Structure 1
Amino acid sequence: MFVLDKHGTPLQPTRPAMARKLLASGRAVIHRHTPLVIRLKDRDAGSCAVPGVEAGIDPGSKHTGLALFHDNGDGARTGLFAVQLDHRGGRIRDRLAARAAFRRRRRSKNLRYRAPRFANRARPRGWLAPSLRHRVETTMSWVDRLARWAPVRALHVERVAFDTHAMSAGRPLEGAEYQQGTLCGYEAREYLLHKWGRACAYCGKQEVPLNIDHIHPRSRGGSDRISNLAVACIGCNQAKNAHPVEEFLAGRPQVLARVLAQAKLPLRDAAAVNATRQALWRALTATGLPVHAASGGRTKWNRSRTGAPKSHTLDALHVGELAVVTGWPDTVLVAACAGRGGYARTRTDRYGFPRLRLPRVKQVRGFATGDLVRASVPAGKRAGVHTGRVAVRATGSFNITTARGTVQGVSHRHVRLLQRGDGYAYHHQGESRGDAPL
C-alpha cells in the first residue's frame, strides 16, 4: 500500500495489514481509494530514512505492465505493486475513422459543413497518430502517478522492437534459424507466440513446447513470410508434416477457417510498438530519473530462470539485470482506459439522424458518469453492496458497473462517492485466481 507523510511526500510502501492498523488507530487517513493511498498525520519524510523503490515498464500495443519493486542491492527483487494498463488505441482509431467518414459525407452532399482548412496539414517531426500518442501519454501518466505515491528512484523499461521488415521479407531470415536455440530469430518467434496466444494453432494446447510450422509447406511452394508461419505442438507438427493445411484439417472446417483468418492478421501491433518506443523513451528520460533499457530477450530469460508465468506485470518485474525475484504481488490492479466522456450532445441512429439529446450538465445529484462509488442497497432484488463505476441518469436512478457485471436502477439515495472519475475503470485480477471485485 502507498503511504504519504503529512505533507504529501511519498514514503516507503507498507503491507496491507499495517495500513489497516494505521487507519484503525487514527494515525492515517485515506488519501485515495483505488489504488489505496494513505496519508499519515504524525510523520514527516525528513525524520525517517526512505530507501526508495524502482519501477519496471513492459510497454505493449494493447496492454502495458508496470511493477514497483524493492532492489536489495545484490540483484534480488521483491515485487510490491503491479498494475496492468489497458489501452484504448483501437477505439480511438475507430472513432477517428467514423469522424472522417462523416466529414466526407457532408462535403459530398449538399449539407451544412465546416469549411475545409488546408493550413493544418503540416506534421512536425516525430508526429504520432492519436491512437499511438494515447499509448505514450497514458503510460507516462501512470509513471507520474507512481512517482507521486512512492519514492521511485529509477526506471527500467523494455525497449520492445519487432523487426517487421525481417518478419515479412519473404526470404529466409538470416541469422534467425528459428529451429535452433532460444534467442535465434527472437523477433519472429516472440511475435508468433503473441499472435497465436502461446497455444498450438491446430489443437489449442497450452503450456507445452511449441514449434514453428509452415502453414503451407515449403516443399509445396510455401514461403517464409510471417503470414505463413504458425506455432504447433510437437504432435500436430509431426502429424501435419508436409501436408497442406487444407488436407490436414479437412475434417475440422471451423479450425481451418480460424487458422487461415488468424494467419492473415496484419502486423499492426508490432508496428504500433515500433512507432511508440522512441517517443516513450524520450518521455521517460525527461522525468529526470535514471532510466535503464533492457531487451525483450533478457526479460524472457529472467522469467524462465525464476519460473514466473507469462503476464504483462511480471514481465515488467523482470526487466533488466537481476539475480533472483523473491516474490511478486498476488493480485494485479487492472486500469482500463475508459475515457472522460464526449462533447457530443446527441446520439444518432444508423442513418445518422439524431434520436435523443443528452443533458449539458454532467453531474446528477452530485455524481458524474465514471465516478467510483459504493452502493448499499438494503432490500429488493438489487440488495447488497455494489462497488464500481457509476453511469448517472437524470432520473436519479443510476447504473453501477462492478467486477461481476452491471447493476441497473440503483437509487442515488443508496450511493456513496469513493473517488472522482479519472478516466479509468478498475478491477483486481489474480495471477491465477481470476477477477475479484474492488
Structure 2
Amino acid sequence: MLWLLTAPWVIAAPATISFTPPPQTSYTVPVSFELNVTSSDGMQGSSVETIHGVKILRNEQVAATGLRGIKFLESGLAPGTYTYYAQATAISIYRDEERQRTLRTQPFTITVNPPPPLYNEAEFVSQSFPDGVVTMYSGQTLAMSVQMRNTGTTTWSSSRAYSLGTLNPQDNTYWGMGRVGLPHDVAPGQSVTFNMTLTAPVVSSRMINYNVQWRMVQDGVEWFGQTSPNRYAYVSPVPAGTIHAEPNPCELIASATSCGTTVSWTANTAGSELWRSRIDGSGATRLIGVPQGDSRLNVADITEAGSRIEVRGDNRVLASIDVYARRPPPVITGNIDGLTADKSVLIGWACASTRQTPVDVHLYAGGPRARPERCSSALTPPIKPARRGLSHRARSTAVTSASLSRSATKCVRSIRAV
C-alpha cells in the first residue's frame, strides 16, 4: 500500500470561489456595474480539488458563466430588486472515485430605482470680468465669458429655447442683450462657455451703476440653476464739452498790440481745465481748473497771431477754439454841408478812424462821382462843374486817425471849394 506523507506543518485547504459585489447597493436607471468572480484550486483531504462551471445567478437565473472565473458587465436592468450569488463545482478524485462539491457565495442584493423625471439644473463654473472698480463710457464695449455646467437630466439646446439670460433685474437689456445663445448642445454633466460683448448703455449723468449677472433660462418654461456672482460697472457719458469766446476776434484799440475776450465753456466730466497754446498747439499752459458744470474766464493778451483755447477733461481735449485779435478796417466818413449864404463857397467835412497814416480827402464839385481808384489821388483834377458859378478848383485837407476820437460821431474839418 502506498501512503501519502505530508509534513505536519502543511495544512491542506479546499478549493474556493470569491464574488466581488459592485461598490453600490442602489442604482438609478440607466444602470451599469461590473461583477467579478474568481476561484482557486485546493486540497480535499489528500486529493487535489479543482473548480469547474462558475456561474453568476441573478434572482435564481443564470446571468453569466465561466470556466474558472467571470468578469461580467451588468446593464439594462429595469427598476426592481436583484439578488446575486456565484456558484461553482469543486471536483476531486479519491481512490479513483470522482467526488463533487457545490460551492456557493453569500448573496447580496442590488436595488435599481426608476429614473427621475426630467428636470433642469445648472451649476455656475466661472466667469471673466475685470477685478476692482470698472468704469466705462456710454457705447464702450467689454468682452466677457460665463461658464455653466449642466447638472440636470435634460439636454440644453437652442431648439428647445435654452440660453443664458440677464439678471438684476431679470430680462434687462442694459448691456445691449437680454439673452446669449448656446454655441452647441449641452448634455447632462457637460459644461458650456458663453462669450458675449457688453455695450455700455447711454446715460446722461456720471457714474451710473449697472449690474452684470447671469442665469440659465428655458424660455417659456423656467429660470433655473445657480446665478453668476453679481458684478457691476459705473457708466458715464462720453466726455464732451463746448467752448465759445466773445468777442472773437477782439478789436485792437489805436496803437494796442493785444486785447481780451471772455471764454465760456461746458464739460460733462467730473472736472474740467482750460488750456492755452499757440495756434499750432505748441507751448500749452494750464489757465484754470474747475469742478463739473458751466464756467467762464476772461482771457487777456490775445494778439493778431492768435491763441488756441482748449477745454480738457478725463485726460482728453473736449472742445477747442482759436481766438484772434484784429484791427478794425479804417472807416472814412464825410459830408457836404452845402453852400455858404452867398453861394460862393461849398463847405464839407471828413473823418477817418483806426488809421495811423495820413488820409487825403478830395472834394469835387459837379459832374459824375469820381471812380474809386482815383479818389485817393491828390493829383486828380476837379471834374467840370455841373452848375454855373462853381469853380473848377478844389482844396483838400488831410486828417489822420491819431488826431481823432473813436467815439466821435463827427470829425469836422472845413473843406472849402471856391
TM range (shorter): under 0.3
* TM-score normalised to structure 1 length: 0.16
Larger strand fraction of residues:
2
Larger relative contact order (CA 8 Å, sep ≥ 6): 1
